[in-house]
Structure 1
Amino acid sequence: MNDIAATADVDVPMLLRNAPKSVEFKKLRKRLLRQARQAMDDFAMVPEASSKSPPKWLVCLSGGKDSYALLAVLVELKWRGLLPVELIACNLDQAQPGFPAHVLPEFFEKNDIEHLIIREDTYSIVTDKIPAHRTYCSLCSRLRRGILYRVAREQGCEAIVLGHHREDILETFFMNLFHGGRLASMPPKLVNDEGDLLVLRPLAYSAESDIARFAAGMEFPIIPCNLCGSQDGLQRDEVKRMLQGWEKTNPGRLGVMARALAHTRPSHLLDRSLYDFVGLRPGEVTKEGEGEAEEPCGAGLAMTAGLFAAE
């Protein structure tokens, strides 16, 4: 990829003109671009080119580091001619007390970003329905998603695009494993229940630490979530700390776990709806990958021993 042009080059999107010029930051930026392109290719997020007008994507911005990074990556891919879609940035102002409602409109205007600001008082609904000692996340996210679906339909969008990253996906997997009794996570691409909109997560392969460094380097005006973020003891926080601990003890562990989500073996699990255990009999030819599990390599055994050494 070509480097971002000089600040004076009017062809460069406003959002990218003040990007740091250091070699380290350029490598970071290119890594995020490459990972987003890979996720889009792997999950066919971008429709094939046609004579019709390009599809519209509603890019959802909360004011957090992840959604800012998402917007910057999509804007750059579009600028480079690698993303033939129309982008509409959208912020849902949920009427939280003290929310700095001026920050995102000013950011969009300054950077010449097509955008929508939608104000819906979901805060009052959530705090009225959920006791103070319970977490707000589930109801808040359902209300927010329903509003964004409506806005996407009104704007003629094909998809809503979210800034969830690798760690979000892993945390959701372990939340479902520990508390939901199922193996499931956030897919990079899905169709909503009504069947008329896509939900896309182009940052599915990107590490949260990379996104945090990118957002800091770009000096995005971060808006903290003071609704659910102010609540202590969230189960997701516990899972996040667990994953961070594993990564600190064994660097690269989160990448290995993320790759595992793309390499499942139904024949080596217990879900009878995914594999015909009833019809499995000796003497029959099994499909490739359905036989006995391969012996783990020495490195794998060492990592496993490290994980459970404290037990």
Structure 2
Amino acid sequence: MNALSKAANRSIGQAMHNYQMLADNDRVLIAVSGGIDSLVLTWILNHWQHKAPIGYEILAVYIDNGFDISTGDKVAAQLQNIGVPYLIEKTDFWHRAAAAEGGKSICYHCARLRRNRLFAIAEEQGFNKIGFGHHQDDILETFFINLLYAGNISTMVPKQKLFNGRVHIIRPMAYLEKKNIIEIAAAASIMPVKNPCPQDESSKRQEARRVVALLSSLDPKVKANIFAGLSNIRQDYLLER
């Protein structure tokens, strides 16, 4: 059985094509958290590597924040099972985040430290793409977080330029729903590693997820319509500042 259905494969291909995510000789660093999304992305990019008409290199990178010393070994076992080259980098980021000041949460500081280190590794080792496992649900939730709590209309994008174009963030699963990712993980025998951090997810994201779920319960087409609306902006019918 192919773990990647035709529909899921087509959605990934459309996202890749529409945003020109991959090119021949790209070097892709995959940001791995140990969760189901990043592990499925790793599996997908490894799977595509063997069938794509272009050649690209991948390296899965897990930044161990130091909260639980056993987590890195569990993530490494999953990456070995997928069959990709990987790097586990141990840090003291959780302790540094807990000691940080400035009014921001531990999650904010820890995420910033981990992301900055990912960018640094990409620069140090010559990777021009960084792959994140965000999907359609994440994009919708981020839209509502920014709308409800920051008062702006924005979200994460499938491809984002950094450092004057030296590095691009790519999100190949941007067109997949969470349920698709769960199906792929089950078919590919991917076992996500539970994040041991007690502050794993923000309450705002949980609230945004409930908003999306509520709207979807009223009409199953709502999610697809909101997602389509993010690229169908009628600027003339928005307020001017």
TM-score (norm 2): 0.90
> What SS class does the counterpart of residue 38 from structure 2 fall into?
helix
Match for residue 123 of structure 1? 94
Distance 1:83 1:141 in 2: 32
Paired-residue identity, %: 27
Does residue 89 of structure 2 align to residue 113 of structure 1?
Answer: no
**Would you say 1:40 and 2:13 are equivalent positions?**
no
Superposed CA offset, 1:106-135 (max 9, x none): 23334431111111211001222269x974
2:229 maps to which of 260, 263, 275: 260
Q: Quick one: which of 163, 178, 196 aligns to 1:226?
A: 196
Q: How does 1:245-256 map to 2 (within 5 A)?
A: 245-256=214-225
Contact 2:30 2:131 in 1 (8 A): yes
| Larger strand share, 1 or 2 | 2
CA distance in 1, matches of 2:99, 2:74: 27
Q: How many residues align?
A: 241
Q: 1:256 to 1:184 in 2, by over 3 A?
A: same
* Contact kept in structure 2, 1:136 and 1:228, CA below 8 Å: no
RMSD of aligned Cα (Å): 2.3
Bigger helix share: 2
- Which consecutive residues of structure 1, in runs of 5 or more, have no partner in the other structure? 1-20, 273-311
Kindly state the Cα deviation for residue 35 of structure 1 after the two structures are TM-superposed. 1.2
Counterpart for residue 164 of structure 1: 134
- Taking structure 1 as the reference length, what is the TM-score of the superposition? 0.71
Q: Which amino acid aligns with 1:269?
A: L
Residues 258-304 of structure 1: CA deviation (Å, up to 9, x unaligned): 111111111111246xxxxxxxxxxxxxxxxxxxxxxxxxxxxxxxx
AA aligned opposite 2:218: T
1:44–1:78 Cα change, 3 Å: same
1:59-92 superposed Cα distances (whole Å, 9 cap, x missing partner): 1111111011111111111111245311111111
Confirm or deny: 8 A CA contact 1:39 1:188 kept in the other structure: yes
- Pick 1 or 2: higher relative contact order, CA cutoff 8 A, min separation 6: 2
1:241 is displaced (CA, Å) by 1.2
- Aligned to 2:160, the other structure's residue is in SS state strand
Counterpart amino acid of 1:33?
A: N
- 1:98 and 1:120 mapped to 2: Cα distance? 10
Which residue type is aligned with residue 40 of structure 1? M
Partner of 1:84: 55
Distance 1:112 1:203 in 2: 20
Q: How far, CA to CA, are the matches of 2:5 and 2:150 in structure 1? A: 36
Residues 124 and 146 of structure 1, relative CA distance in 2, 3 Å threshold = same
What is the rounded CA distance, in whole Å, between the counterparts of 1:165 and 1:154 in structure 2? 28
CA distance in 2, matches of 1:140, 1:32: 32
